[in-house]
Amino acid sequence: MISRTFAADHSAPRAATAWLRSQALGLSEARFSDAELCVDELVTNVVRYAWPEGETHAVTLSLARSASEVEITLEDDGRPFDPNDAPGPPAPRSLEEAVPGGRGLMLVRAIAPRLRYERRDGRNRTTIAFPVES
């Protein structure tokens, strides 16, 4: 397993996805796009909501590859938050009624084949996994 820690500021989603791209994950292009989007959304969510405004924190990304899948774990010491529980906005029926935000975790739940959350030792651990090409 390899991991990298990023300062939890507004540059973190880009830094995290750039690091992900630099790793030989063995995912197809389409699967990599899905993984990249999920990591971006999860890191963005942590950066924006995990801590009170103005505090300095970090978020750690870990990668583990088995013969069948790539597992990506995001860890932070922010407030307890299970991404499985966050409701997304209803499907928009018209532009006038559309809620602009709130679709990030909805995307992650729709895309990630596996999404697991646990709270351990005061830290959030969110794991997503994607199958590698056989």
Partner 1 sequence: MQLEHTDLEDGIRMIRLKGRMDLEGSESVDLKLTSLVAVRKGFVIVDLAEVEFLSSIGVSVIVRVARALSSREGRLVLLRPRPNVADVLTRTQIDQIIPVFGDLTAAKSALMGTA
Least distance between partner 1 and beta carbon 33 (Å) = 4
Residue nearer to partner 1 on the CB measure, 2 or 110: 110
* 108: its two tokens: 């992650």
* 51: its two tokens: 């801590």
Least distance between partner 1 and beta carbon 17 (Å) = 7
Least distance between partner 1 and beta carbon 28 (Å) = 13
Residue nearer to partner 1 on the CB measure, 11 or 119: 11
Residue nearer to partner 1 on the CB measure, 101 or 122: 101
CA dist., res. 127 & res. 134, Å (int): 22
CA dist., res. 39 & res. 44, Å (int): 8
- Amino acid identity of residue 8, one-letter, is A
Strand partners for 131: 69
Judge contact between 54 and 112, C-beta under 8 A.
no
Residue nearer to partner 1 on the CB measure, 10 or 119: 10
Residues that bind partner 1 (CB under 8 A): 10-11, 13-14, 17, 33, 36-37, 40-41, 44, 47-48, 91-96, 98-104, 106-107, 110-111
Owner of token pair 């993984």:
35
